Amino acid sequence: MGIEIERKFLVDPSRFFPPASGSVIRQGYLVRTPDRSVRVRLTRRPAETGEVDASAALTIKGPDGLARLEYEYQIPADEAAELLDTLCLAGEIRKTRYVVDVEGRNFEVDVYDGVHAGLITAEVELASVHEAVVLPDWVTKEVTGDPAWTNAALSRAEAGPVD
């Protein structure tokens, strides 16, 4: 069984200065309910040679919270692009992800595009729910477990009003 233990935070855009390069992510949902999601993610990373390295994954997640079930499977990048373009629900998330080391721990910092331009979030994965984390000064508020701040919820806003 795969368990993801992760904390999520909002980031102050005036205090966060991204590294030189990040990964561009397209993310969409095949299933998006309060108790589970199935997402498709296509990630493009610029390589030092100028080429673009693409990877993709299909991820199944349980209810949001500090610890939740998560299963991730690598899929071909061209299939991910096709799923995003044809079968995913409306409301694709586009963002650039930067990995930032904070006292030996990697924070994944997402800078959003589209209707969420200006939003920046940071996530940090933990080995235990009791593990302490040193927060950088650019973190403003913890939103772990708040359903309004999940990427699935944000994708609903990308799609417009939901019935």
CB atoms within 10 A of CB 37: 22
Q: Is 29 among the catalytic positions?
A: yes
- Residue of 29, 73, 98, 112 marked active site: 29
**So where are the chain's domains?**
3-159
Q: In the predicted model, is pLDDT for residue 49 greater than 60?
A: no
122-135 residue pLDDT tens: 999 999 999 999 99
108-123 residue pLDDT tens: 999 999 999 999 999 9
Q: Residue 85 in contact with residue 92, Cβ under 8 Å?
A: no
Q: What is the CATH number of domain 3-159?
A: 2.40.320.10
55-101 residue pLDDT tens: 999 999 998 888 999 999 999 999 999 999 999 999 999 999 999 99
Q: Residue 109 in contact with residue 98, Cβ under 8 Å?
A: yes
Q: What is the DSSP letter of 134?
A: P
The residue whose two tokens read 């899929």 is: 75
